[in-house]
Homo-oligomer: A and B are copies of this chain.
């Protein structure tokens, strides 16, 4: 199959496969702007579905959307010293505007903590103004040296939530709540089950007290940091004078959190579910869940087949299914089939003149699940009425497969040296659970010698039944961690 359509196979070169699939499925394309991509309609449609789902979850937990400036005064970024250290090398700088050199340069936001907390300082006076729970959908820019479509691009689309609270415990709970929302979204919508936990100090967000993350394993065994949620403490509040009068009338600094997920998730979806024939989109995120493909030779034939196709699509829409008709009758049937296979539309409905005469359709799922048929001929009503259940089953199937792949790539054992860690990863391990002494020097060595990083100190439910005692650095383990090579 893969050869016929000219894709590199995943097993030959996963990275080449990814780049080809993303472009040939028309998810995205390279642009004339270094490191910036173009997101094409099918890729953007997936992002829109992601946005709807996340936005609903944010709003259901009391958050509102707002919009803050794209440009940030350079001096703002420089105020929080860890923050500027982390972001300065990646800044894009506007030095001229309106035909003049600016007195103070602006940077294109790499993230918006500074400008947002400067505004919060203006809006918040009293504990009555808290919590302040805002989210922003927008673009951001980090001038990365090596870029890859969706996974690492100079410009990316994302949401960044920013909250302010009257006390530490509430901010901590918020950071945790949002981590939970991301996790639920990844499991329920993306069928990409992540592990959650806390980042080490060496891997946390520049300016955070603590960073939480969702980490998923891709099909090549590499980890993808898929979303993060940060407890910022009072670090930014102190730099931007974000204070409030508490119930006792005393002035205090507010506590902040920030949390984000980006178009990187689209890349994660591709690397989680794609196969050698192309992308596979989980039904809940597919811009079109069912593509009706009319099969017609002559014009006279075409009219009846097209009418029936539109009728079926309408019937599906009434059932709450996102359906479209592929009306490109001047393209060969085979080319249209392959196009939707590459794009990963969950179900194809074929409608030919004979089907119309018989009141039947051919139902072809993008992915064949256990016990499922590769192709079924069904009565029209049966096909339509059963579609939601079919899509649900496909969604569950994808989650099950992804979970099984994650487990197959997971190694839990005592790891007594960095070399041993490297060996496990070389042999195909994805997540290696081991002990860690807590010494950053071990992280440095692992990065250098095994190209591995600690993804997270896993949350309790992910921890091994027996706590490991060895650290790859040679010392005694103080906690369990997850190592991986990462995107």
Interface positions of A (Cβ within 8 A of B): 29, 31-33, 36-41, 44-45, 47-48, 64-73, 76, 88-99, 106, 108, 115, 118-119, 122-123, 128, 134, 138-139, 141, 143-145, 154-155, 157, 328, 330-331
Contact = CB atoms under 8 A, between A and B. Distances in A.
A332 B86 CA distance: 45
A139 to B, nearest CB: 6
A99 B94 contact: no
Contact of A115 (B32, B108, B143, B145): B32
A45 B29 contact: no
Nearest to A91: B97
A64 B94 CA distance: 31
Contacts of A48: 65
B36 A134 contact: no
A65 B93 contact: no
A331 B89 CA distance: 46
Contacts of A64: 41, 44-45
Contacts of A71: 33, 36, 92, 155
A471 to B, nearest CB: 36
Contacts of A92: 71, 94, 96-98, 106
A237 B38 CA distance: 19
B32 A118 contact: yes
Contacts of A144: 98
Given A29-B119, A31-B119, A139-B138, A36 B95 contact: no
Given A97-B143, A331-B128, A106 B69 contact: no
Contacts of A88: 99
A245 to B, nearest CB: 13
Contact of A108 (B29, B31, B70): B70
